[in-house]
Chains A and B, each alone.
Chain A
Amino acid sequence: MCGIAGILYKQQRSDVAIGKNLIDMLDGCQHRGPDSTGFALYHRQKPDQLRLRFFVGTGDSALSSIEDIENQLAKFQAKVLDKEFIGRTLRVTVKFSGDIQKFAYAIEKTAKVISIGNSLDIIKDMGGAHDVDSEYGVEEFKGSHGIGHVRLATESDVKLEAAHPFWATGFADIAIVHNGQITNYWKMRRRLEQRNFKFNTDNDSELIAVYLADMLSKGQSLMAALETSIEDMDGTFSFLVSTKDEIGYAKDRLAAKPMVKFENEELIAIASEEVSLNRLFPGQALNTMEPPPGTFDTWQKST
């Protein structure tokens, strides 16, 4: 039960104020979810580097978590280039060229991974868009695209782990934000678990992320993966997915969850409500569109 937002600048640029854009859009629909706010942001990085973010908490337990994480990283021969203990998270940049899924599953045994990616960084915590920004400095972030989420917890607890965006556990650079409810969650999850996929939470949104990542890893396009997701997922949903260089959406057949999009030559912006889109263009009447039920689409950065 939430609000979602996503934006992608189509030109090959990575210096746009994506952080600021998403803060504005999410603040615009904060009424849809006051419990927590999160951002999935993409920025440029060298090909053999990985950016990792862990939930470590605060105080002494955070320090011991950080020590555990560092030991694990050493075990996998991930060379730490840069690290920062900020808010309740630890961000680490490492040089790593091994199997990311194996690495992620192993490291999860000792630490709570929020995201892993070559260019992805997920920042999420309790409170509104401005609360999270003041703690993590989201506004400073420059990049090419990103997605975000405001959450009103309905069935699971209010805690950082349950906040969106969700990382597709084990798959670098894939994130999702979701508004709605997947009713065949357990059936779908068991199917993926039988194939040895791991889940960090009981949240249905993580399932969408892993499902899509699995399709992509089999060589499908994001467009094709979104198409089958509408067939395979039951329930009410509007979700946004982002990868290293594209974003996409899918909407359930009952059109039970809102979504509005605005597109021009420069950018594509999608949000739960037009009021969020208008935050990017104050005072302007926008030529927006509500995607029809059962539809999906993707946009890529031009290369």
Chain B
Amino acid sequence: MAKIDLNTTAVRAANEQIRQAGAAGENVQILNPDAKHHIGVGLTAEIQVHIKGSAGYFCGGLTDGPNFEIDNNVGWGLGDNMLEGSIVVNGNAGAIAGVAIRGAEVVIHGNMGSRAGQVMKEGTLLCAGNANFMAGYMMYGGRLIILGNSGERVGEDMTGGTIYVAGKIESLGSDATITDYDSKELDSIQDFLERYKISAPKKFQKIVNAGKRLRYASTEQQIRSIPFFTFSGASQYWNQKIQEDIFVKSQIGRYRIRGYGGARTLPHLSDLGFRRDLSNSIEESNPVSKVNMHTKIGGLNGAKPLDLSMPVMIAPMSYGALSRSTKMAIGMASSMSNIAENTGEGGMSDAQRDAASQLIFQCLGGRLGWNIHDMKRADGLEIYISQGAKPGLGGQLMAKKVTKELAKIRGIPAGIDLRSPSRHPDVLGADDLVIKIEEFREATNYQLPVSVKLGAGRVRDDIKIAAKDGFDFIELDGMQGSTGAGSAEVLEYVGIPTLPAIIEAVDALEEIGRRKNIEIVLMGGLRDGVDAVKALCLGADAVAFGTSTIIAGGCIACMQCHVGQCVTGIATQDPEHEKRYNPEIEARNIHRFLESVRWQIAAITLGLGYKNTHKLNRDDLVALTPEAAEITGLELVPSRKKDLPDKLQMRIGNR
């Protein structure tokens, strides 16, 4: 038995020692824990860890296998995302105990705080005392047993799993209902309680999902798609798009869901031009060989940075929204071009991991497919706060795409219209976020860069918070960013376009003295190397391409991604449709597109007079429209003299 005294050992060093003990199969005792955070985080060995006192936030979080016993209380997020293993708490637990567990047994002898078992998927969370507000909030599966009273709104928005309450139910949450249980269930609970030496009550009330909100009442039929250029037509009035929209709403009686991003004309990077004529790059037959584009992202706090052959990444897109073959093709293309790929929501598949040489693993509020093992084999971690296409909202995946296989990976019931939570259970402010980032770092031994994905909304505040909270880099996504499914209202009218977003972000960092310190990766409707260079000039350290890579791989921009019957086999989970997609061929197509981006970046950089993309700056750009000039503060061309000619002034004066 190894003894670790937290009075003399910092938690980070202690966790390292616990992992070593785990590897050696040795049990551990923690002395003087004094409610410190992150004790035992990231442990994947089947050992006993006995904490002699109280533990703080995320005790036993992001683990698989260990058995924890805590003599006294624990803070928020007990056993966060624990796969196999067990935790016994002899005192009380704070809020969100058993959050996102996937198989673990969590036993609390005292009371537990609010939102216990939020987004849990599998396993048992037992509270021998009283549960507070919203126990079982948004749970997807597993079993929550409360021997005392339940608190208000128990089972709020649960989509799966069961809750058993022996005491009083204060009130039921929305879409939760009380139902009968059989003797087998009671036996199973009694067996469980016996194992943990807790006497079992004779009667329970069983709460399950009422099934009223799992699916939309009406399904949107696939319709003849309107080509993007018509869809985004210049006239706002009674055009084909508006007519179609009204017609569909007259059939389904609710807001619409569609794929892609905003189709309105918005100020964008195309409203900027380069100041110099670029003809000096014409002389050069191979600009790529002449320009240094090598970019490292995320090394700010000592983690191993992403190592990119050019300042370009793939934007996060999920396996779920896209087919497995598509994610494979994108992964392969990213490896061929030596840039980084991103899992998006919903977990990491082996195929994806094998295909991509550098892979960022994205973590969303639903913790769908999130787990310690895939964290450890990722090259970077990303906390999704929101995305440009639908700031403030979580992912959407319509029932057609929530197949059995996909549901299993994500840990959710199959065949529901999945509307992922819009917030993280354990991040309700910038202060909690600090503790969450630290948990990720503890779990991965401070080796991986941890980034934040922000949809452009209140960019100035958000960027400052991201920088202060200690992220390794920021992924900023503007309004032109696309999605596999989102409501048209949000896609078109919520958020800030990509161009003003980067301006405000750079400004915000300057205000707090962090410019050139924390890296920004800009995304949101960037189409080619020309857009990329403009973004770099404005202050982005790298850019990410999403939609343009799937178009390179065969997407026809019909905007029906949400339906799940994608004719190209890209945005579908139907094997018949997916068959049409050849990952090897499409990987080469995407790779060729990425190489054209590389060539464009190199040629323009050279044309602007530099041999290194990091030299690109604002002075290389001019604004082509008054709007763009106003947004960016760049000079509008043609530039005018300040003093108007006398004659002209007179005319204005005479008016």
**B151 to chain A: which residues have CB within 8 Å?**
292
CA distance A274 to B72 in the complex (A): 11
CA distance A114 to B430 in the complex (A): 26
| B468 interface residue per 8 A CB criterion | yes
Min CB gap B627→A, angstroms:
27
**A152 to chain B: which residues have CB within 8 Å?**
430-431, 434, 465, 468-469
**A286 to chain B: which residues have CB within 8 Å?**
35, 54, 72-73
Residue in chain A with minimal CB distance to B72:
A285
CA distance A260 to B93 in the complex (A): 11
Q: Is the CB of A31 within 8 A of B435?
A: yes
Q: Is the CB of A35 within 8 A of B71?
A: no
Q: Is the CB of B32 within 8 A of A273?
A: no
Q: Is the CB of A274 within 8 A of B7?
A: no
Q: Is the CB of B57 within 8 A of A273?
A: yes
**B75 to chain A: which residues have CB within 8 Å?**
258, 260, 273-275
**B114 to chain A: which residues have CB within 8 Å?**
255, 292-293
**A277 to chain B: which residues have CB within 8 Å?**
35
| B104 interface residue per 8 A CB criterion | no
Min CB gap A1→B, angstroms:
4
Min CB gap A72→B, angstroms:
34
The digit string for A30-43, where 1 denotes a CB below 8 A from any CB of B, is 01111100000000
Q: Is the CB of B56 within 8 A of A154?
A: no
Q: Is the CB of B132 within 8 A of A293?
A: yes
Min CB gap A66→B, angstroms:
30
Which residues of chain A in 144-169 are interfacial with respect to chain B, using CB atoms and an 8 Å cutoff? Answer: 152-155, 158
CA distance A186 to B73 in the complex (A): 39
| B68 interface residue per 8 A CB criterion | no
CA distance A292 to B132 in the complex (A): 7
Assuming the A-B contacts A257-B428, A275-B37, are A285 and B133 also in contact, with contact meaning beta carbons closer than 8 angstroms in the complex?
Answer: no
| A113 interface residue per 8 A CB criterion | no
Assuming the A-B contacts A31-B435, A282-B7, A293-B114, are A274 and B428 also in contact, with contact meaning beta carbons closer than 8 angstroms in the complex?
Answer: no
Min CB gap A141→B, angstroms:
24
**A31 to chain B: which residues have CB within 8 Å?**
434-435, 438
Assuming the A-B contacts A274-B75, A282-B32, A290-B113, are A257 and B132 also in contact, with contact meaning beta carbons closer than 8 angstroms in the complex?
Answer: no
Min CB gap B615→A, angstroms:
32
Min CB gap A226→B, angstroms:
19
| B492 interface residue per 8 A CB criterion | no
CA distance A221 to B207 in the complex (A): 41
| A63 interface residue per 8 A CB criterion | no
| B91 interface residue per 8 A CB criterion | yes
**A258 to chain B: which residues have CB within 8 Å?**
75-76, 94-95
Which residues of chain A in 30-61 are interfacial with respect to chain B, using CB atoms and an 8 Å cutoff? Answer: 31-35
**A1 to chain B: which residues have CB within 8 Å?**
429-431, 465
CA distance A3 to B35 in the complex (A): 15
| B461 interface residue per 8 A CB criterion | yes
Q: How many residues of B contact A (CB 8 A)?
A: 39
| B53 interface residue per 8 A CB criterion | yes
Min CB gap B225→A, angstroms:
40
CA distance A292 to B116 in the complex (A): 13
The digit string for A217-260, where 1 denotes a CB below 8 A from any CB of B, is 00000000000000000001000000000000000011111101
Residue in chain A with minimal CB distance to B461:
A155
CA distance A292 to B170 in the complex (A): 13
| B304 interface residue per 8 A CB criterion | no
**A236 to chain B: which residues have CB within 8 Å?**
428-429
Q: Is the CB of A290 within 8 A of B54?
A: no
CA distance A180 to B428 in the complex (A): 9
For B94, give its contact among A179, A181, A260, A285 (CB under 8 Å): A260
Residue in chain A with minimal CB distance to B423:
A256
| B115 interface residue per 8 A CB criterion | yes
Min CB gap A294→B, angstroms:
8
Q: Is the CB of B92 within 8 A of A32?
A: no
**B431 to chain A: which residues have CB within 8 Å?**
1-3, 32-33, 152, 179, 272
Assuming the A-B contacts A2-B431, A32-B434, A154-B461, are A290 and B35 also in contact, with contact meaning beta carbons closer than 8 angstroms in the complex?
Answer: no
The digit string for B31-50, where 1 denotes a CB below 8 A from any CB of A, is 01011110000000000000
Residue in chain B with minimal CB distance to A151:
B431
For B92, give its contact among A33, A284, A288 (CB under 8 Å): A288
Min CB gap B113→A, angstroms:
5
CA distance A214 to B133 in the complex (A): 31
Min CB gap A252→B, angstroms:
11
Q: Is the CB of B34 within 8 A of A283?
A: yes
Assuming the A-B contacts A255-B115, A275-B75, are A285 and B54 also in contact, with contact meaning beta carbons closer than 8 angstroms in the complex?
Answer: yes
Q: Is the CB of B132 within 8 A of A34?
A: no
Min CB gap A156→B, angstroms:
9
**A180 to chain B: which residues have CB within 8 Å?**
429
Q: Is the CB of A275 within 8 A of B56?
A: yes
**A2 to chain B: which residues have CB within 8 Å?**
431
Min CB gap B116→A, angstroms:
11
The digit string for B462-506, where 1 denotes a CB below 8 A from any CB of A, is 001100110000000000000000000000000000000000000
| A278 interface residue per 8 A CB criterion | yes
CA distance A288 to B94 in the complex (A): 10
Q: Is the CB of B133 within 8 A of A293?
A: yes
**A287 to chain B: which residues have CB within 8 Å?**
91
Which residues of chain B in 80-132 are interfacial with respect to chain A, using CB atoms and an 8 Å cutoff? Answer: 91-92, 94-95, 113-115, 132
Min CB gap A30→B, angstroms:
10
Q: Is the CB of B53 within 8 A of A285?
A: yes
**A86 to chain B: which residues have CB within 8 Å?**
none
Residue in chain B with minimal CB distance to A289:
B92
Min CB gap B171→A, angstroms:
13
**A289 to chain B: which residues have CB within 8 Å?**
92
Residue in chain A with minimal CB distance to B113:
A290
Min CB gap A293→B, angstroms:
5
Min CB gap A253→B, angstroms:
8
CA distance A158 to B57 in the complex (A): 27
**A275 to chain B: which residues have CB within 8 Å?**
34-37, 56, 75
CA distance A198 to B435 in the complex (A): 37
A sample of 9 cross-chain residue pairs with beta-carbon separation below 8 angstroms, ordered by A number, consists of: A31-B438, A152-B465, A255-B95, A255-B114, A257-B428, A257-B429, A260-B75, A277-B35, A293-B114
Listed from nearest, the 7 A-B pairs whose CB atoms lie closest are A285-B72, A274-B35, A255-B114, A1-B430, A278-B34, A32-B431, A275-B35
Contact surface of B with A, Cβ cutoff 8 Å: 7, 32, 34-37, 52-54, 56-57, 71-73, 75-76, 91-92, 94-95, 113-115, 132-133, 151, 428-431, 434-435, 438, 461, 464-465, 468-469, 512
20 further contact pairs, Cβ within 8 A, besides A1-B431, A3-B431, A34-B468: A1-B429, A31-B434, A152-B431, A153-B468, A155-B461, A181-B429, A236-B428, A257-B429, A273-B56, A275-B75, A278-B54, A282-B32, A285-B72, A286-B54, A287-B91, A288-B54, A288-B73, A288-B92, A293-B132, A293-B133
Contact surface of A with B, Cβ cutoff 8 Å: 1-3, 31-35, 152-155, 158, 179-181, 236, 253-258, 260, 272-275, 277-279, 282-290, 292-293
